[in-house]
Amino acid sequence: MILNQLEEEGIENRSVKRVWLHQANSKMNLLLAKKILAREPSPAELPLVLKKYGNTGAAGVVLAFSESQNLDQESWGVFCAFGAGYSAGSVLLQKC
C-alpha cells in the first residue's frame, strides 16, 4: 500500500526520511521500513515506542511521531496504521 502510494505520487524511496508505523511488533516494523526505504533503517528513521508504551495499536503512530518530528526541509515521512481485518491507512507528509 505504501509503495503504491509513493509510486502514484512520484516520490522516490530515497526521499523518505522517516516512517512512523503501527506500533504492534518491532520486527514487523523493521521489515516494513526496509521495504519502504529499500535499505536498513536507522533508529532515527524508524522511531519505535513499543518499549516505552507497549502495543498501543494505531495510536502508536501518533506517539512515535510526537517523539520524533525532526524532519529536514523538503523531506518526506510516512504514517501508516492498520486495524483488525482489512482496514489500513497511510499518509505522506512533507516538511515545508
pLDDT in tens, the chain (96 residues): 999 999 999 999 989 999 999 888 889 899 999 999 999 999 999 999 989 998 887 888 999 998 887 788 889 999 998 877 778 899 999 988
How many domains is the chain built from? 1
The CATH number of whichever domain residue 43 belongs to comes to 3.40.47.10
List the grid coordinates of 75. Answer: 523531506
DSSP three-state, residue 74: coil
Q: What is the pTM of this model?
A: 0.88
Phi, psi of 95 (to 5 degrees): -85, 125
Core vs surface per residue 61-93: b (16+ CB within 10 A) or e: bebbbeebeeeeeeebbbbbbbeeeeeeebebb
Quote the domain boundaries for residue 81. 2-94
